[in-house]
Each structure stands twice: as structure tokens, then as C-alpha cells.
Structure 1
Amino acid sequence: MPFDSYGVLSGTLHRHFRDRPDDQGAWFHVNLEVDAPGGRYRCAVDVDSKQSATGVRWKTLVLAPSVLDPVPSLAPGYHDLSMSSGSGALDYLRHPALADRRGCLLPRNPPAWLRTVVDRWSPPRPWVSGSNLDAAGALEPMLVPGRPILVFGEPFAHHGPGMHNIHQNQGDPYGSRWWDDNGIWQDGATLTRRPDGWYDVFLSRFSSQLDPTDDDGHPVAPPT
């Protein structure tokens, strides 16, 4: 079943810091401190697994504010979002600004000339794999103190104001501890607004998460 609560925090980035690698639990995070009318929020962005074989993949994008409507016009603070298309919620596989559209544009085994044309019109946006240091290094250049920031995810139930699950939240396989959290239109992300008004975007997902997914966010079994 999807999250009980999902939304976006709009505020100003105060600072960021990395977890200490030896005493911060099973997952490394880049922690964001975000100022908003409700106080200073801590937002924990997963950047790798420390105690399992599950790795993290990521990609960075630059997006115009118009493709994120209506979220860029929201007042500072935390806002619940309906987990549906058009609400401002994010879905890595379904949101037209985030989904890798190349798969639907190319037939199987396309000729080289067609691949070149499609790559120019819709450049591939591959997921990158690496260490927690690599992932943190990809995120941190956009974490400029004083920048307006949007953090999508699930609000903390405890530990004070903050956000977690700032990553893909669908596609976890059957039998995993996160199967029950699968859902569509509830993916997390970190976005900071550049001086030109566009947004730097960091998306992350776990290597164990599969796609495509069904309407419940569960992986669709490949045809046999």
C-alpha cells in the first residue's frame, strides 16, 4: 500500500552534511537542513547501503519550473500532495519530465541512424552506479546554501520536523521489507532552484528496485 503521507517541503537550504560512516545506521545519507516557516527541517537523502549488497543508483537533471507545476508556486513550508498525476507529485516512471522516454521511441534492435536521431531529440538519461562517495559527490554541487529547495518524500513520523524516503518508492520486489510501501506518484527527489530559475534535480533509486510497475507500484513480471 502507498505511504500514509507524501508531499513536498519548500524552503531555503541552510546547509548539508554527510553521515559519519561508523555510527549512523545501515544507510549513508546526505543530510539537508532546510529553513521553512515550521522551523528547521532535517531531510535525509539516501546515498548508499552500508550493511547490505543493495546499492544506490542516481541521475541528475535540469528542469524548467513549468514542468513541475503547481509545486514551484507553493508557499514555503510542507505541503501534502495527492498521489496522482497533476497534483505535483513525482513518479520516476510516469512523470513526463522524469521518465526515460527513449524506450517508447525506439523499436527493438533499431538501426544506428534511428538511434542517433532519437538520441538527439530525446537524449538518454542513464542511471549511474557507484559508491556512496560518488553519489554524494553528484548531489552536493547543487546544495548551495541560501538556494530555494524542494524536497519530495515522506515526512518523519518522529525525530522532529523532517523528510525521508527521498528516493524512488516503487518497484521493490515481492518478499522485500519495502513491498508494502510500493506505490505510484510518491517518489522522492531533491531540487534546488538555480539563479536562472531552472531546477537542478537529483533522483535516486535502489539497485533492487525493478520496472515497469503496475498501478500499485509493484514490479510487473516479465513475460515468459
Structure 2
Amino acid sequence: MGLSNGYGVLIGTKTNYYRDNPDDFGRFYHGNLEVAADGKSFHCAIDVDPKNSPDGIQWRVTTLIVAPTPGTTSPPTTNAFSPILTLPNGWHALPSTPTSGALDYIRSSLLQPSSALRRIRIPIFGPWLFSGLRFLEYYLPPWLLFGPSWQSGTGVDALVALEGVLQDAERCFVFGEPYGNVTGGGSGRRGVHNVHQNQGDPVGGGHDAENAIWQDGATVVQKRDGSVVAFLNKFKTQAARTDDRGRPLP
């Protein structure tokens, strides 16, 4: 079914950031990012609720575009995220498709950790070998892939990683579900929530109606040095593999 209010990306500049007050157990539920765009203020809630588990949050920090080397004239790096960088500040609705700029933690090659296997190239076999290696990655243990895997921990642990990404932010790109009047004027709160993986929720778990592919939330930052870094977050209960409707696979 997917997110009920649609999906897209908010682009703007960071004006404030704060954590939710801790509850009685000392957990933090959200990192709150305030973004200015089109003369309006938007509130973005990055959910890191551990769901009563000491390690119920998983996250990964991924560099999408490497900063140019100072003093060089090399052209800037371009990849699947580059078209998003050209969009003006404001809210942009995105169709849940591979070519719209939408994110999918499982299917976006841009978001996958770089592993030793993935860097292997033998020209005579070309894409056949590469596809075979991608298949093997589902079954080989993480230590053999030599790539960054999901980290697990508390909401506080995840927020420390998020806050590192937000340092030196020049522009923010917050992917998720809009709430409030994100495109019009007037008063009232507006912003983005469901800023986390939005697929793989267990059937019958209360959030499975929102499962769908190409609609994952994320916090992406373009830093002053030109690099682009993404903070990806999910709940440990969410599957790492899903079918074409976003439902969990074993």
C-alpha cells in the first residue's frame, strides 16, 4: 500500500537541530531537524525509537559523493544522486520508481555498502560475474564482504552518528512522508516524518500497511567541502530483504 500521504524529498538549509527529551528509561525517540526552504520552516522527525530493545535501532552512514581533491581541476563526481542536487529548495514529490530519485535501501545500488566483492571486475566476464557476486552477497557472512554493515544500538547511539553527518551541512535533503501543508503558505506545522526504512515491517506488526518499495526515508547532507553523505536508519524488526511489494522475505 505504501505511505498514505505520499513520498518525496525536502531540500533546504539546516536552521536548528535537537533531540527529544529522554523518557523514563533514558531513550531518545527522534532527532529533530528544522529546515528552511521557500521562506518557510519545516520540521523533520528522524525516528530512532528502539522499540523497547537495547539494540533495536540500526543505522549506516554512506558517502554518496566524495569531496573534490583541493587544488585539482577534476570534474565533480556524478551518479544517481546528482539530479537531486540540481533541484531547488523546497518540497519535491517523487514517484516510487527506480528513476525518479526515490531511495530504496535494498534496491538502490547507490546506497549499498562498498565491499571487496563488489569492486571485483574481470572484463571478459563483465556483468555476468558482477551479477553472480551480487547474488553471493545475500549468503556470504559480512566479514567476508569487507564493507560497512548496519550498526545496531540505542537511539542515543544512532543520534550521535546522525549528528556527525549534520556537521558542516550546507544543504539538507530529507526523504520521507510529508505532513502539513508542505507546498503552500499559511501557518501550522509542516515537515517530513517516516524518515527511515519504509519496507520490511513484519506482517501484523502494526506498520505493515505502509510497506512498499522505492519510498525509504533518509537524511542526506551536502557538506561545505562538496561531499554528500547519507544517514540511513531502520528498525531491527524490519527485514533486510523484501518482495516487490515491500513485504519481508526470510
Give the TM interval when normalised to the shorter protein.
Answer: 0.7 to 0.9
- Closer, same or farther in 2 for the Cα pair 1:183/1:109, shift >3 Å? closer
For residues 1-224 of structure 1, the aligned pairs below 5 Å read 1-4=1-4, 5-22=6-23, 28-37=29-38, 39-49=40-50, 52-53=52-53, 55-64=56-65, 66-100=79-113, 104=134, 106=136, 115=144, 119=145, 123-144=146-167, 147-157=170-180, 160-220=189-249, 222=250
Deviation at 1:147, TM superposition (A): 1.9
C-alpha distance in structure 1 between counterparts of 2:164 and 2:113, whole Å:
23
Deviation at 1:146, TM superposition (A): 5.8
**What residue identity is the alignment partner of 1:70?**
P
> 5+ unaligned residues in a row in structure 1: which ranges?
none
- Closer, same or farther in 2 for the Cα pair 1:109/1:208, shift >3 Å? closer
Give the % identical residues: 42
Deviates more, 1:171-180 or 1:157-166: 157-166
Alignment length (residue pairs): 209
State the TM-score, normalized to the length of structure 2: 0.76
Deviation at 1:174, TM superposition (A): 0.9
State the TM-score, normalized to the length of structure 1: 0.84
CA RMSD across the alignment? 2.5
Deviation at 1:211, TM superposition (A): 2.8
Q: Secondary structure at the match of 1:16?
A: strand
Which aligned segments of 4 or more residues in structure 1 are displaced greater than 4 angstroms? 100-103, 107-110
- Closer, same or farther in 2 for the Cα pair 1:32/1:219, shift >3 Å? same
Deviation at 1:48, TM superposition (A): 2.6
> 5+ unaligned residues in a row in structure 2: which ranges?
66-77, 116-132, 182-187
Find the structure with the greater CA-based Rg.
2
8 Å contact kept, 2:7–2:96: yes
8 Å contact kept, 2:169–2:223: no
8 Å contact kept, 2:19–2:28: no
